[in-house]
Chains A and B, each alone.
Chain A
Amino acid sequence: MVDHGRISLKGVNVFYGKNQVLKDISLNIPAHSITVIIGPSGCGKTTLLKCFNRLLDEVEEARVEGEILFDGQNIYAPEVDVTQVRKRMGLLSQKPQVLPMSIYENVAFGPRIHGLQNKKKIDHVVEKYLRLAGLWDEVKARLSEPASRLSIGQQQRLCLARGLAVEPEILLCDEPTSALDPQSSRNVEAQLLRLKENYTIVLVTHILRQARRLADYVAFLYLGELIEFGPASEVLTSPQDPRTRAYITGEIS
């Protein structure tokens, strides 16, 4: 049987100390589509994303229970190499976090630490992914400038290019447009729509209109529980659960 979801969660619980913030989450995330996670602030969206690429490992007081299968393999199994798991998933965070180095080096960083040394090949990779993120034309003349000189919107696309350069299969995006102006937000959204053909995208947002524009599937998270999951057209227009309905009509936020 083909495992339809690229990522499946089975009974995932997450605790910060004694405080349980994700409760028995089970979910299949379909490949080559955009799955949008919505829910009020503090409901555990960021935490859920951090389970996927095991960034929660870095949070001392966090504890994860349950299984997260990635192509059928449990990424929390003891023999799994964390860096390999992370390499297969790109992350786009709420505020763009450019590395303290040049525009070029930001994109080259991932390929370099994973062993790419040939200068020509690195040049090629840098150009390819800056193009893919829709940034190449704006920065090709200033590749050696510090990345921090770019505008915030450009920085976010640089982060996208940097993430793509390690050739992940999945993109995890945590409110990637919340720090951007409307124009830059549209630009990032356009890139994501273009990328979903080749990548599985999980996007956290609290902007319902953004969910409508981008989502193929929607998961509604509330107080650490997965309330509803399904195709965007169903969840966003005719939600089954009263809590989802309340959220979508703006009664809870």
Chain B
Amino acid sequence: MKKEGLAARVSGLSAFFPVVLVSAIFLAIFLKALPLLSLKSWSHLIFSSAWQPQKGEFGLWPFIIGTLSVTAVAFLLALPVSLFTALYLAEYAPNRARKMFLPAIDLLAGLPSVIYGMWGMLMVVPLVSKYLAPLFGTSSSGYCLLTAGVVLAVMIMPTIIHVSVEVLGSVPVSLKEAALALGATRFEVVRYVILKKARPGLLAACILGLARAFGETIAVLMVVGNVPEIPRSLFSPAYPIPALLANNYGEMLSIPGYESALNLAALILLLLVIIFSLLARLYLSRLIRRSV
């Protein structure tokens, strides 16, 4: 009796633990960011593009845009490829192909991100600088938004594909049979029945992929160029917040306000991720509610 009460209390506490931890991290970062916020306004720090720490200019706008654009490019590249791959695997490929492909995909999902970064430097960077940029009439070092987007897309695809295949696989066979029995073609069944039934789950798969894309650091910073400017095209370098933090945190902290600025950047990254996942969750729950 007493033991059970203790167990319940312990597990209650441990459920509480993540919340406490996140709050603590949030608070620590916020406190560190506070000194800068008392010197300059929020809006100036967020919307100014001037990043000159030596002169006391800490405009974070290029990093915010860098984060959003790398994530967006990666997502736009990964989404169609992943969904078509998942559809093919779940609906068209023979069972044997599926059984071979999925473990291979899981292997890819588990590779350390530095490996993806190296792959990007070895293969994607030269491809972009030597072939793609000239094709579009510009020049590029290859360390740019597009390269980072490609590398990041490849990194998040395994997650999206695997979850999507499982979501599609959970559509009841008898539902597909019901539609086929009406004389629908395979394609019509996929298009009008399976995709509709699976939509909330597929969206969840995308959210998982996107969540990973937002925070991915090492592979991106290896190929994105790390220039604190707002990228003008896909072939320009960018500088997302995770890369800014990983490159600079703990160094040059003698510059007044610098550490505070980096903490503010971290805070903004956290807020971006939280706002985004809240919106996604809201949309998802509406979708599910409408489909029942």
Contact = CB atoms under 8 A, between A and B. Distances in A.
Interface of A: 53, 55, 58, 60, 83-84, 86-87, 89-91, 93-95, 97, 99-101, 109-110, 113-114, 146, 148-149, 159, 162-163, 166, 172
Contacts, number: 72
A97 B174 contact: yes
Contact of A100 (B94, B95, B196): B196
Contact of B185 (A55, A83, A159, A163): A83
B183 interface: yes
Interface string B170-195: 00101111111111110010001100
Given A101-B196, A113-B183, A166-B183, A91 B178 contact: yes
A100 B176 contact: no
Nearest to B193: A99
Contact of B291 (A94, A110, A146): A146
Listed from nearest, the 3 A-B pairs whose CB atoms lie closest are A87-B183, A91-B181, A97-B178
Contacts of A93: 174, 177-178
Nearest to B171: A100
Given A100-B193, A146-B292, A58 B176 contact: yes
A166 B178 contact: no
B183 A110 contact: yes
A60 B192 contact: no
A86 B178 contact: no
Given A100-B193, A100-B196, A148-B292, A110 B182 contact: yes
Nearest to B177: A55
Chain B, interface size: which category?
Answer: 20 to 34
Contacts of A86: 180-183
Nearest to B178: A97
Given A146-B292, A148-B292, A99 B95 contact: no
Contacts of A172: 181
Contact of B183 (A84, A94, A97): A84
Nearest to B195: A100
B178 A60 contact: no
Contacts of B32: none
A109 B182 CA distance: 9
B179 A58 contact: no
Interface in B264-292: 290-292
B176 A83 contact: no
Given A60-B95, A101-B196, A113 B172 contact: no
A87 B174 CA distance: 17
Interface core residue of A84, A99, A166 (most chain B CB under 10 Å) = A99
A139 B229 CA distance: 60
A166 B179 CA distance: 12
Contacts of B180: 55, 58, 86
Given A100-B196, A113-B188, A114-B183, A159 B178 contact: yes
B212 interface: no
B44 interface: no
